[in-house]
Structure 1
């Protein structure tokens, strides 16, 4: 018994370390949930370390291979700071909270034990002065302890200085210069700035003005009415560069529409094509032929526009895995109006899941409640218990966030025929005990890695070339019913 236990521990330990990479992620570590800081395992013993790692302060997690399939947080309440035990309990509310500073990091991927020790604190850098309206100044952030940045800052006319750990530095140049004097004031121009940066080693600073962005809106009887000159349009689009504009969740009826600039008719674009086309100055009205709630994009330079429904999918370890940005999702819902999204026969196992849009994480919805609730942007994961595992029909209202999972059939049923994958786990060959039109193999990131067409019952199917791990087999029977089953490759 003791020998078997030791072998099991060795197997788990080895599985974590083969081609593994543990990293830190989150605003408290790297500044965002989109950037990883890789730790190193020099001895290949599952002890991951980092030296002089800058921590921004706030929420963070450890995760494996830059994926969310295995991520360590504070789910059991034992992940205190600066030492503790992290675990893999799912959910967005189980983050570890870091105190800003520079640390030596140790993390044990087997036990979850971590420690952050030593290091100097991150310098506190602010922009202060009469050009800054915030009483405490504008606080900068850094990822390398030398270059400090603040984004989307607004200044009024006046002067400014950089406060570095309470010592004031300034210069005479604007929008660039060197802050080397403790008495000089930077003459600042009122306006919005995309970024303000300073290198506290050299003193060099840059104020980058935000681009001038003309207002562009969507108007017409198909989107609410035809306004007169000077009337502020309702359907204002947004842009960060004055070129690419977007407007999400625009309710459209059958009718006409155009784009116009600065709430007036001197600059307007149109084209009869729908849902996409190239708008030209004083062009024809866009003929909206199908009512719905659309996401709209427009390029002010080329005139290219598009009205579309976003793709929405269900993702998570309960639904096949946590995909990265840009990976095509498997469990895609369908819509006819851009509001109500549905999917049938989605297989769920015990675990966590969320909705996300357009195969990315910038728009996602969650709520811990299951099987129904109201999901919110960046909300917590929906938690599926072992007792709730099964096959569901799913609905989501994109506007309100209301969702519902309705049981369709048990996880062991496929249409009218009981079926299985055998053997499971497999070392390379498996069979399905029913005739199928198609069997698609997906990995944990949602990537399609292999397809079998027109497979007969009990026909041998090979996945010998695939790596060891967990896969999901999406099977379509001869009546076009679909079902997804987990398959383990040893």
Structure 2
């Protein structure tokens, strides 16, 4: 009997002693490098797991991604390019992960693995600013997240009014602050007074930090220094309507404009150096040079002005007075004004005119008080200007 117990104890000790450690390692792991292992848990020395793991996106199959390996040693390692599931093989390719928070499972016997998105709390924006008719009786507008920490909202037009950040549609889990457009929201804090308009919103669920900023407009493509796969080169705006960028160096190739670094909203056209970009339009063919770029978000109009050339027309030769005005704006250009287009603050066209003269009076007596935009076409150029009715 003692011999049997001793043999069993020895087998158990050997099993424990020789239990393999399985880990993930790679540039897209939480450690962010190829030298630090993150050990997985197991109860049977076959199936290994990790929960709530934050991963980044693999961009280069040769240098980025993840692998599984045994006993912190490259002598035994597994990989496969497939994601979020596949069958890893010895010395296989790097696993090309996508950013997110995952529960990871790996089977040491057959190499199968899965990356399952971990359940994340939902965060929405709630209140009259997102539902002017129903107010706090209406639903949230849900934000998006890849890690359950940083949440974003793109492409939403707010009404002027109050709002909270809210977790899982639970009215007792609201976050607010008196600050706008940026601040730090606290649980059960006061409502945020949001100004009407389109905002790109971020909210950090851990710190409460939030921001409402104008949507970003960027340019990218094989004619730029960033190519098609990296973050855009952002243009600058002061009003959320007109975006500009000076001294952009381009090679012969193609570009596009897009909003908030997402392909959800992008503009393109075959016209160059100016045209009206359309949603999901073709890539813009450009000629090598150094350019000042103007883009209007609501209309899609764009203009590339070669800074090394001496163009016949200049968008700077437009004069508008008075501005603000209570009824009439006087427009003057060095050359003939071919067309004037009037837009409201959302970009909707509310008037078209063909002056065919160097001076033109725009009658806004029927307009409500507020901000408007006018596009002035003259020869080969155009200019978009903000006007105010008071």
TM-score (norm 1): 0.38
TM-score (norm 2): 0.46
